[in-house]
Each structure stands twice: as structure tokens, then as C-alpha cells.
Amino acid sequence: MSYRTEEVAYVQPAVLPAANAQATQRSTAEYRALDAAHHIHPFSDMGSLNRAGSRVIVKAQGVYLWDSEGNKIIDGMAGLWCVNVGYGRKELADAAYRQMQELPFYNTFFKTTHPPVIELSALLAELTPEPFNHFFYCNSGSEGNDTVLRIVHQYWATQGKQSKKVVISRRNGYHGSTIAGGTLGGMGYMHEQMPSKVENIVHIDQPYFFGEAEGNLTPEEFALARAQQLEAKILEIGADNVAAFIGEPFQGAGGVIFPASTYWPEIQRICRKYDILLVADEVIGGFGRTGEWFAHQYFGFEPDLITLAKGLTSGYIPMGAVGLHDRVAKAIIEHGDFNHGLTYSGHPVAAAVALANLKLLRDEKIVERVKTDTGPYFQKKLRDTFANHPIIGEISGAGLVAGLQLAADPKTRKRFANGGDVGTICRDFCFNGNLIMRATGDRMLLSPPLVINKLEIDEIVSKAKKAIDATAQQLGIS
Ligand code: PXG
């Protein structure tokens, strides 16, 4: 059964059974028609999606999803890079149920707090690197990065350096889809639809070796040159005007781009030299993805702020947070009001679920297993399977995250002229083979739940191989 080919006629809602919040038993056609009639999806061309019909996911367990047609699908993306503990963990459902009965909501604004947010903050202080002992909560990664901007500006105000306003980020970085998140991100197609942007944000180039290195530079030389763009940009703007640099330790949505080992130490050196805050957006990299608890630990640098979301709750409930290095926290704490907050900052149910989730990650040694066992197995299996593959130019990644570069000529790093289309072809073969693998342009991405076992890794890699072989065949390459 293919998903993308079936055309579903537009059906007026009136001819369908009454909408029912509990309904789980409609036919696929009914679901699709109601979805088309009432639901605008994120980042989608709704006209063509409604004509083709959405895939309806109805349940999940472990690393598997089931759709409304009864197909069992292996989830190579952990939802949207977030279901770190896998699907169906009753401990998380129980934590939410208990908390909803005990205290479903109370705010943390007016001199109040509550046990779940207290416990969560204390546990985060244990799990994050030593200088991180304070956390501010929100509902998503985007709000986390909005919060980062607020903290950065407040920090410099406390230092009497209000002129430090500019935040530098990177082209093809992703930091969310609020106005601030979208401006911080470097996705041109998002900027084009955003006539209103946040002021004082500028971009430098990304450390994408395969796609952007020219001449005979080694990956290390190229990464160093890209990091040095930060210094050039600071000198252009004036260090007195630059507040912070923000980057994902590895770019997730941008294609699982892992910079060479020279990149982050140089970025850190430059930030320290010019007195600029360094922000690590850990929304994807955090909570074990690389085999370290946080991706900045994998790359060996020490940020001043970290943005957290996704794996914080394994996606079971929305929550984001910002972790503040002691030197930033001290300034914020000692200088009066910080005028920022959301109704649901530190929501008790979200905090209870986050707490239960982090205990699973810690007590079941899930992160350690990614580092020493399943991560290395996954990376080796991918590299062995695709060694000398005619359309695989590069495999990036560590732990349980990987990017597979599709290329017209892997040896000369020649990319397909229509790379995005090739990625879509490959993604559709994956769909038809019941594997979720994400395409970003001409890179295929994997980021499975961290509880995946070796048999399931074998299944993902063999399904990915079939899809990539089929793509090569369709292109007439073998
Ligand atoms: N920072 C990073 C590094 C992210 O990857 C956000 C911030 C924003 O988080 P929220 O919770 O506001 O979405 C993200 C989100 C994709 C995809 O298709 C990636 C994200 C979100 C949706 C889709 O790769 N990353």
C-alpha cells in the first residue's frame, strides 16, 4: 500500500459522522477527509497533501509505529528526534496521571513553586555538566531560544554593556519557528516568508564540508576556516556590539552536519577572546543522542547557555528549558526582576513527565548503552553497509544519529543537480518499505529512539539500503 499516491476526494465535513474526541475507529478515508477538511499541518503544502492524503498514525510501541491501515513501521527518527526512551513507557503515563490528580496546574510566577519543578531542576543540575545549576522552563525548543535571547540581553544589561546586542548564528542552522527562532535559524525558505524578523541577528556560514568545501582543504582546515568567519564577523560588527553566538553542536534539521574536531574549540576561543556568550542549542543533541548526555560534551566545549526540549520529556508532553551556566545565572539572580515568563513555565504535569523520563534515561543506563554499545554498532553497520555505495558520498554522525549524503559522484563530492528531488524519491521508497527516514535536501537522516536494540538497528539499516538501492536504480546508477 503506498501512501503518497492515493488521491482522496475532498469531502465536506457535514457528510461525515460527528467529530468525536474519543474516536479512534474511523476508516482511513474518513480520517484523511476530516484531516483535509480541518487541519493545517506544519511546514506543508496543504493543497497537495490534501489531494494525496496524510498517513494516519494510530499507535506506537518501542521503536515501532502502526498506521490506520495496520502497517507496522520502524521509526528511524524517534518521532521528530524526540522519543528518546521509545514509545509506550507506562512510567511516563503514570507520572502524568498521578500529577494531574495531585496538582494539574499551578503557576511559578508570584512567589510560588511546586514539587515537580523543584525535583526536575535538581535532577537537571545533576545530569548537566557541573557549571549548570539553574533552569528556566518553557514549552518548546523555539520558546527556549526566545528565552535565550531574553537572558542574553538581560545578562549584558547587568554588566552595563547594553551595546552588546547582536547575536550571530549560522546559515542552515535550525533554532525553531517562532519569529525569534526562525530569525536565529538560517533557513532561507523560512526567512522568505517572514517580513517581520527579530533585529540584531546575523549569520555566518555553516561547517558543511561535503557540500561547501572548495579546493583541497581537509575537513579540519575547512572547519577551522568556517569557525574563523565568526572572528571576522565580530571584527566587522565590533566586539562591543556582539552579545552571543548560537549554534547546534551538530546541525540536526540542516542535515546531521558534524563539524570536524577543529571547529568548536576555535569557536569557543573566539567567544572567550571577545567576551561573547556561547550558546549551545541542545534541542536535538541533548539527552543522549551522541552517546554523551549533551552534544557539547561530545565536541568538548563549554557553553554559557544550553537550550533543551525534545528528549527532556522524550516528546511525551511538550516542555523546553534553558540551562544557565553559573556565571550567567549569578548575574540574572543578583540583578532584580527578569521580565520573562509563560503561563506554563515549569508546568507541573510536564515537569513530572520530564522527571520520570530522565530517571529512565539515567537508571536504565540508556545513554551509556548508546555510547558503548548500540551507538558504535549503528555507526559501524552504516559505514560497512554503504562503503563504496554508488550514491552515498559521506556518512556523518555519532551515537544514534546519522546523516547519509546522497551524491552523483561520491569520490569527487559531486552532488546531484536536483538533490532535493533525489532525497524525496529516497524518502518515498523508505515510506513504502515501512521505514521512517527523513530527507533534508540530498541528505537522508536517521535518529532512532535511544532504546533501539541491535536487531532493530539491522532492520533500519537493511530497509535504508533497499530504499537507497532503489533510488540509485531509478536514477539509472548502479
Ligand atoms: N532547536 C533545534 C536545534 C531544533 O532542532 C528547535 C530548536 C525548535 O524546537 P520546537 O520544539 O519549537 O520545534 C528545534 C526543532 C525536522 C524538524 O524536520 C526539526 C525540529 C522541529 C520540527 C521538525 O527535522 N527541530
- Domain annotation covers residue 35: no
Strand partners, 132: 325
For ligand 1, the distance from its centroid to the CA atom of residue 141, given in whole angstroms, is 7
Residues 237 and 381 in one domain: no
Torsion, Cα 337 343 349 353, to 10 degrees, reads -70
C-alpha cell at 337: 526582576
pLDDT of residue 424: 96
pLDDT of residue 326: 98
Residue range 2-15: average pLDDT? 38
Q: Which of 10-19, 281-290, 317-326, 371-380 has the lowest mean pLDDT?
A: 10-19
- Domain annotation covers residue 348: yes
| E runs forming strands in 76-221 | 132-138, 166-170, 201-204
- Domain annotation covers residue 41: no
Residues 305 and 183 in one domain: yes
pLDDT in tens, 107-129: 999 999 999 999 999 999 999 99
Whether residue 391 contacts residue 428, with contact meaning beta carbons closer than 8 Å, is answered with no
Residues 341 and 426 in one domain: no
pLDDT in tens, 410-446: 999 999 999 999 999 999 999 999 999 999 999 999 9
Residues 160 and 278 in one domain: yes
Count of domains for the chain: 2
Contacts of 243 (CB under 8 A, 6+ apart): 152, 153, 156, 164, 165, 166, 167, 200, 276, 277
Question: 141 in ligand 1 pocket by Cβ < 6 Å?
Answer: yes
Rounded distance, CA 154 to CA 338, Å? 7
- Domain annotation covers residue 34: no
pLDDT of residue 336: 87
Q: Which helix (H) or strand (E) holds 308?
A: strand 305-308
CATH code (residue 461): 3.90.1150.10
What is the pairing mode between strands 201-204 and 166-170? parallel
Residue range 3-12: average pLDDT? 38
Residues 175 and 271 in one domain: yes
Atom of ligand 1 nearest to the CA of 145: 7
Rounded distance, CA 301 to CA 268, Å? 7
Could you tell me the CA-to-CA distances from 445 to 42, 283, 474 in Å, in that order? 19, 16, 20
Domain boundary among 305, 332, 363: 363
For ligand 1, the distance from its centroid to the CA atom of residue 255, given in whole angstroms, is 12
Residues 400 and 285 in one domain: no
- Domain annotation covers residue 295: yes
Contacts of 38 (CB under 8 A, 6+ apart): 13
Going by the DSSP 8-state scheme, the letter that residue 113 receives in this structure is -
Strand partners, 138: 320
C-alpha cell at 6: 492515493
C-alpha cell at 209: 564540508
**Better-predicted residue by pLDDT, 450 or 18:** 450
- Domain annotation covers residue 14: no
Could you tell me the CA-to-CA distances from 283 to 28, 294, 312, 314 in Å, in that order? 33, 10, 9, 11
Residues 189 and 275 in one domain: yes
For ligand 1, the distance from its centroid to the CA atom of residue 307, given in whole angstroms, is 11
- In this predicted structure, the answer to whether residue 139 has a pLDDT above a threshold of 60 is yes
Residues 253 and 112 in one domain: yes
Domain boundary among 327, 347, 363: 363
Name the nearest CA neighbour of 307 among 136, 125, 126: 136
Q: What is the pLDDT confidence band of residue 24, given thresholds at 50, 70 and 90?
A: low
Residues 158 and 244 in one domain: yes
For ligand 1, the distance from its centroid to the CA atom of residue 463, given in whole angstroms, is 25
Name the nearest CA neighbour of 85 among 400, 440, 455, 351: 400
Domain boundary among 363, 384, 413: 363
Across the beta sheet with 320-325, the strand order is 132-138, 320-325, 305-308, 277-281, 242-247, 166-170, 201-204
Question: 393 in ligand 1 pocket by Cβ < 6 Å?
Answer: no
Atom of ligand 1 nearest to the CA of 140: 11
Residue with cell 568538548: 300
Rounded distance, CA 326 to CA 14, Å? 58
Question: 461 in ligand 1 pocket by Cβ < 6 Å?
Answer: no
Residue range 249-262: average pLDDT? 98
Which amino acid residue places its CA nearest to atom 23 of ligand 1? 80
Atom of ligand 1 nearest to the CA of 253: 24
For ligand 1, the distance from its centroid to the CA atom of residue 341, given in whole angstroms, is 21
Name the nearest CA neighbour of 86 among 369, 467, 398: 369
Contacts of 116 (CB under 8 A, 6+ apart): 99, 103, 346, 348, 349, 351, 352, 355
Atom of ligand 1 nearest to the CA of 252: 5
The per-residue b/e assignment along 275-296, b for 16 or more CB within 10 angstroms, e otherwise, is ebbbbbbbbbbbbbbbbbbbbb
Across the beta sheet with 438-440, the strand order is 392-398, 401-406, 443-446, 438-440
Could you tell me the CA-to-CA distances from 380 to 63, 180, 402, 447, 464 in Å, in that order? 20, 38, 11, 15, 15
End-to-end CA distance of the chain: 27
Question: 253 in ligand 1 pocket by Cβ < 6 Å?
Answer: yes
- Domain annotation covers residue 264: yes
Question: 309 in ligand 1 pocket by Cβ < 6 Å?
Answer: yes
pLDDT of residue 25: 84
For ligand 1, the distance from its centroid to the CA atom of residue 253, given in whole angstroms, is 7
Whether residue 402 contacts residue 446, with contact meaning beta carbons closer than 8 Å, is answered with yes
pLDDT of residue 17: 44
Residue range 30-52: average pLDDT? 96
Atom of ligand 1 nearest to the CA of 251: 3
- Domain annotation covers residue 402: yes
Going by the DSSP 8-state scheme, the letter that residue 410 receives in this structure is G
pLDDT in tens, 163-190: 999 999 999 999 999 999 999 999 999 9
Atom of ligand 1 nearest to the CA of 77: 24
For ligand 1, the distance from its centroid to the CA atom of residue 185, given in whole angstroms, is 10
For ligand 1, the distance from its centroid to the CA atom of residue 158, given in whole angstroms, is 30
Rounded distance, CA 369 to CA 292, Å? 10
For ligand 1, the distance from its centroid to the CA atom of residue 284, given in whole angstroms, is 7
Residues 80 and 118 in one domain: no
Q: What domain range is 191 assigned to?
A: 90-363
Rounded distance, CA 469 to CA 478, Å? 8
Q: What is the pLDDT confidence band of residue 4, given thresholds at 50, 70 and 90?
A: very low
pLDDT in tens, 65-108: 999 999 999 999 999 999 999 999 999 999 999 999 999 999 99
pLDDT of residue 478: 78
pLDDT of residue 18: 44
Rounded distance, CA 246 to CA 203, Å? 10
Residues 174 and 270 in one domain: yes
Mean pLDDT, all residues of the chain: 94
Mutate to test the pocket of ligand 1, among 246, 281, 283 (most ligand atoms within 8 A of CB): 283
Contacts of 221 (CB under 8 A, 6+ apart): 262
For ligand 1, the distance from its centroid to the CA atom of residue 47, given in whole angstroms, is 24
Residue with cell 565568526: 230
pLDDT of residue 106: 98
Rounded distance, CA 436 to CA 279, Å? 31
Question: 142 in ligand 1 pocket by Cβ < 6 Å?
Answer: yes
Share of the chain above pLDDT 90, in %: 94
pLDDT of residue 358: 98
CATH code (residue 224): 3.40.640.10
Rounded distance, CA 391 to CA 465, Å? 11
For ligand 1, the distance from its centroid to the CA atom of residue 181, given in whole angstroms, is 10
Mutate to test the pocket of ligand 1, among 137, 189, 296, 310 (most ligand atoms within 8 A of CB): 310
Could you tell me the CA-to-CA distances from 70 to 63, 66, 304, 342 in Å, in that order? 16, 6, 47, 40
Rounded distance, CA 396 to CA 399, Å? 11
Residues 163 and 272 in one domain: yes
pLDDT in tens, 327-374: 999 999 999 899 999 999 999 999 999 999 999 999 999 999 999 999
Question: 80 in ligand 1 pocket by Cβ < 6 Å?
Answer: yes
